Amino acid sequence: MKLVFATHNKNKLREVQAIIPKHIELLSLEDIGCFEEIEENGATIEENAAIKANYVFENYQVNCFADDTGLEVESLDGAPGVYSARYAGLQKSAEDNMQKLLEELKDKDNRNARFKTVIALRTTHEKIIFNGIINGTITKDKKGENGFGYDPVFQAEGYQQTFAEISSEEKNKVSHRALAMKQLIDYLKIKP
């Protein structure tokens, strides 16, 4: 089975390539000649994932899935949420985003947060949504060199290290994206 992952994010692509079973041929947007930036103008994470999957399916006629991920911080009323990638501005700088987040949390005792990934699968016959959520806290300082995005400041429940301090293999077992991908993979296993 061939399936396109509708992302230009090389870090996400590497994570998914490490998770997806070998019987599924994973193609990137570049593999199908899609180089345009797909505008994510949805009001929710779910809408953004569906926008990307629908765009690729309708313009390239390929079975595909897309994801969108948000970091939701309790004391910030769920922010940055759908704006996670551009929290500190349209330049989409992970460093700037983390700095802004740490600054906004500097006087807050409640540092509870969760990562949420939504995967939208779009094929000829179906449109399905899968969710992966992992709870944790935002650390006071950045720690670790692995991962990407907010990983250096997110510590998952049950862990003493941030996502940037654990190995990619460990992260790929427990992360929000891994949980959503597991649902997608389990679904594809039962398809004829």
Task: Kindly write down the DSSP assignment for every residue of 136-186, as one continuous string.
Answer: EEE-SS---SSS-TTGGGEEETT-SS-TTTS-HHHHHHHSHHHHHHHHHHH
Question: Residue 106 burial (CB < 10 Å; 0-12/13-18/19+)?
Answer: exposed
Marked catalytic residue, from 31, 68, 96, 151: 68
Catalytic residue check, 31: no
Instruction: State the helix-helix crossing angle for 176-190 and 10-19, rounded to 10 degrees.
Output: 50
Query: Could you say which DSSP state residue 83 is in?
Result: G
Q: Kind of pairing, strands 64-73 and 2-5?
A: parallel
What residues are labeled active site? 68
